[in-house]
């Protein structure tokens, strides 16, 4: 964290006590997500630190435990579990925190160039209300899905996160349209998670999704229309999961067993659908590793030379 802030132990702690912290960063290309646990400490992003660093990203924190107090221009924001904090790294700030566990999003300022005034007006504030609650649910769902994301998921997640943040900060006159957009994004994410968690379930149907999500069939079909329809989406995700299994050298199951595990009634049906989706047969897929690449192993342009967290921060948005 040295490129961003100076960290100090509380007055009643000595260096001999140590500082057992954990900082796990995920690079989604247009956004960094950090899972962090740290003991009590104080922090400062000074004017001198700003001059030595061109990083001016937006910082959005969701504490899971602990409390914090952060001061910007003599205004203090009190962070607490389940409440989103939004802060600009382009301004000096200082604060302190108790022992805490939190999820932090770093988003480049240019991502919000068309909404800069709304964000700047809410610098160092705690987001509240129905919109913020929906955003909290969405951020938690991203964290739960981090290990299963593929490269193709990343731009969509960054775009959806941006849209939901803007909707949260929209002026009251725009709230009706923002609410509809935010609700649709959150519902689509719940639907995607339901499909992903039930790919091997025989009961994965539009009817079961309507019951689980509490929506009508017409609303469900409307939601998945841009994805080619709900049945098409389910089959595509099942084929993608089957491809992962086929490409896994440690998976010794026969092709027909993998097909059955992901809801295909026969090897012939699976082979036809697989070939149409990927352009080659399941047997050929067994010996190739080209799809899908897991998100955590993707080499994004420029990141090969920037293996540190500081490097990721500097490359973000470029």
Residue 122 predicted with pLDDT over 90:
no
Q: What is the pLDDT of residue 288?
A: 58
Q: Check if the beta carbon of residue 146 is closer than 8 Å to that of residue 33.
A: yes
CA distance 75 to 94: 11
Residue 306 predicted with pLDDT over 50:
no
Q: Check if the beta carbon of residue 206 is closer than 8 Å to that of residue 153.
A: no
Give 264's pLDDT tier (boundaries 50, 70, 90): confident
Q: Check if the beta carbon of residue 91 is closer than 8 Å to that of residue 72.
A: yes
Q: What is the pLDDT of residue 290?
A: 45
CA distance 289 to 287: 7
Collapse the DSSP code of 25 into the 3-class scheme (helix H, G, I; strand E, B; otherwise coil) and give the result: strand
Alpha-carbon dihedral sign for residues 73, 77, 83, 89: positive
CATH no. of 177-278: 1.10.10.60
Q: What is the pLDDT of residue 80?
A: 93
Q: Which two tokens stand for residue 295?
A: 């998100």
Give 300's pLDDT tier (boundaries 50, 70, 90): very low
Q: What is the pLDDT of residue 118?
A: 80
Q: Which two tokens stand for residue 20?
A: 């057992």
Report the number of secondary-structure helices (H) and strands (E) in the chain: 12, 11
Q: What is the pLDDT of residue 182?
A: 60
Residue 67 predicted with pLDDT over 80:
yes
Q: What is the pLDDT of residue 292?
A: 46
Q: Check if the beta carbon of residue 200 is closer than 8 Å to that of residue 263.
A: yes
Collapse the DSSP code of 207 into the 3-class scheme (helix H, G, I; strand E, B; otherwise coil) and give the result: helix
Give 34's pLDDT tier (boundaries 50, 70, 90): very high
Collapse the DSSP code of 206 into the 3-class scheme (helix H, G, I; strand E, B; otherwise coil) and give the result: helix
N- to C-terminal Cα distance for the chain? Answer: 20
Average pLDDT over residues 10-20: 86
Give 7's pLDDT tier (boundaries 50, 70, 90): very high
Q: Which fold has domain 6-170?
A: Jelly Rolls (2.60.120)
Most confident range (mean pLDDT) of 9-18, 62-71, 197-206 is 62-71
Q: What is the pLDDT of residue 172?
A: 52
Q: Considering only CA atoms, which of 312, 250, 229, 238 is closest in space to residue 282?
A: 238
Q: What is the pLDDT of residue 307?
A: 65
Q: What is the pLDDT of residue 294?
A: 46
Domain boundaries, the chain: 6-170, 177-278
In 10 A of CB 312, how many CB atoms? 19
Give 131's pLDDT tier (boundaries 50, 70, 90): confident
Burial class (CB in 10 A: 0-12, 13-18, 19+), 118: middle
Asked if the peptide bond before residue 292 counts as cis, ω within 30 degrees of 0, the response is: yes
Computed over every residue of the chain, the mean pLDDT equals: 84
Give 291's pLDDT tier (boundaries 50, 70, 90): very low
Give 95's pLDDT tier (boundaries 50, 70, 90): very high
293 alpha carbon, distance to own chain's centre: 17
Residue 174 predicted with pLDDT over 80:
no
Residue 31 predicted with pLDDT over 90:
yes
CA distance 57 to 89: 5
Give 93's pLDDT tier (boundaries 50, 70, 90): very high
């Amino acid at each position: 964290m040295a490129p961003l802030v100076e960290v100090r132990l509380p007055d009643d702690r000595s260096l001999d006590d140590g500082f057992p912290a954990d900082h796990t960063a995920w690079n989604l290309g247009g956004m960094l997500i950090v899972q962090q646990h740290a003991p009590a400490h104080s922090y400062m992003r000074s004017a001198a630190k700003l001059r030595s660093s061109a990083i001016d990203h937006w910082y959005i924190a969701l504490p899971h435990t602990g409390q914090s107090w952060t001061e910007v221009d003599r205004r203090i924001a009190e962070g607490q579990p389940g409440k989103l904090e939004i802060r600009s790294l382009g301004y000096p700030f200082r604060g302190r925190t108790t022992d805490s566990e939190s999820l932090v999003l770093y988003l480049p300022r240019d991502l919000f160039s068309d909404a800069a005034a709304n964000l700047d007006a809410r610098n160092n504030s705690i987001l509240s209300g129905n919109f913020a609650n929906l955003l909290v649910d969405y951020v938690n769902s991203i964290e739960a899905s981090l290990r299963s994301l593929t490269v193709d998921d990343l731009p969509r997640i960054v775009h959806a996160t941006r849209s939901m943040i803007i909707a949260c900060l929209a002026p009251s006159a725009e709230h009706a349209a923002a609410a509809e957009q935010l609700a649709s994004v959150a519902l689509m994410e719940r639907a995607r998670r339901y499909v992903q968690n039930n790919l091997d379930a025989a009961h994965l149907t539009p009817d079961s999704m309507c019951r689980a999500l509490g929506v009508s069939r017409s609303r469900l079909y409307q939601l998945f229309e841009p994805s080619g329809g709900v049945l098409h989406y389910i089959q595509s995700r099942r084929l993608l999961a089957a491809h992962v299994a086929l490409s896994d050298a440690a998976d010794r199951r026969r092709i027909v067993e993998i097909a059955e595990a992901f809801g295909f009634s026969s090897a012939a049906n699976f082979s036809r659908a697989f070939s149409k989706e990927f352009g080659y047969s399941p047997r050929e897929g067994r010996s190739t590793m080209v799809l899908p690449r897991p998100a955590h192993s993707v080499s994004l342009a420029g990141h090969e030379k920037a293996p540190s967290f500081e490097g990721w921060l500097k490359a973000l948005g470029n």
